[in-house]
Structure 1
C-alpha cells in the first residue's frame, strides 16, 4: 500500500495508481514508485524512447506478458516505429540465444573478455580507416 503522498504523486503522473504499484508491500511501495519515477520515467542519459525499447527487449527476453504489453505501449507512445519494436525484440532474442550458447558451452569468461577487447580494437580500427572511395 502506497503512502498518501505517493498515491497523489502517482495519480498526477499516471492518472491512476496501477494495480502493480498497489500490489507492492507497504515497505517497498514508496521506494518502488520512486525508482520508476526517477529512473524509468525521469530524465536520464537515455531518452524515454530508448528506455522504452530497452524495456521491451528485456521484457521479451524474460517472457513477461505484462512487461511486454507495458513497454510496447510505452515505446509506441514515445514514437518508436513497428520496425524499431521488432528490432528491439530481435536484439533481445540474440542476446538470450548467445547467452545460452556461452553458458551451455562453458566458455571461459576471461578468454571471452580478451576476445571482446580484440574485436572492439579491430572494429574501431576499421571504422577509423579511410574509405576506399
Structure 2
C-alpha cells in the first residue's frame, strides 16, 4: 500500500518543480483551480467531494490524494468521503471500487499520521 501522505508531499514538490518548467501553464491551472473550488452556490467542501468522486472514477491516484486531503481540510467527515466514494463506484463500476478503496486508504493514513500536521503542506503554483 502506498504511503499517501508522503505521496501527497511528493506530488506537491513535483508540482512546484513543474511550475518552474512550464510556469504559464501551471499558473493558469492554479488560476482555474482557485475560483472553481471557492464557495459559491456550493461550498468548498462539496466541491472537493465532487472532485474526489471524479478522481476515483477517472482513476487518478494523485488526484485522490489531493482531494481527500483538501476535502478533509474543508471539513469533510469520514462518512461524507465514504458516500462520495460510493457514488463514484456507481458511476465508474469495478475500477472505481479499486480506486475507492485507495481513497479510503488515503483517509486512513491521513488520520493515522495526524492530519493537522499535514496542513503545513499546501498546493501552491506561485
TM-score, shorter chain, exceeding 0.5: yes
Instruction: Within 5 Å, give how 1:39-58 maps onto structure 2.
Output: 39-40=36-37, 42-58=38-54
2:25 corresponding residue in structure 1: 28
Counterpart-to-counterpart distance in 2, 1:22 and 1:43: 29
Greater RCO, CA 8 A, separation 6+: 2
User: Deviation digits for residues 17-39 of structure 1, max 9, x if unmatched?
Assistant: 85325425344222111101221
Corresponding residue for residue 70 of structure 1: 66
TM normalised by structure 2 equals 0.56
Corresponding residue of 2:56: 60
**Aligned counterparts of 2:40 and 2:16: Cα–Cα separation in 1:** 22
Q: What SS does the aligned partner of 1:23 have?
A: helix
Report the TM-score when normalising by structure 1: 0.53
Structure-2 change in CA distance of 1:18 and 1:33 (3 Å): farther
How many pairs were matched up? 80
Kept in 2, the 8 Å contact 1:53–1:75? The answer is yes
RMSD: 1.9
What stretches of structure 1 move > 3 A for 4+ residues in a row?
none
Q: Cα deviations across residues 88-111 of structure 1 (Å, max 9, x unaligned)?
A: 0110110123xxxxxxxxxxxxxx
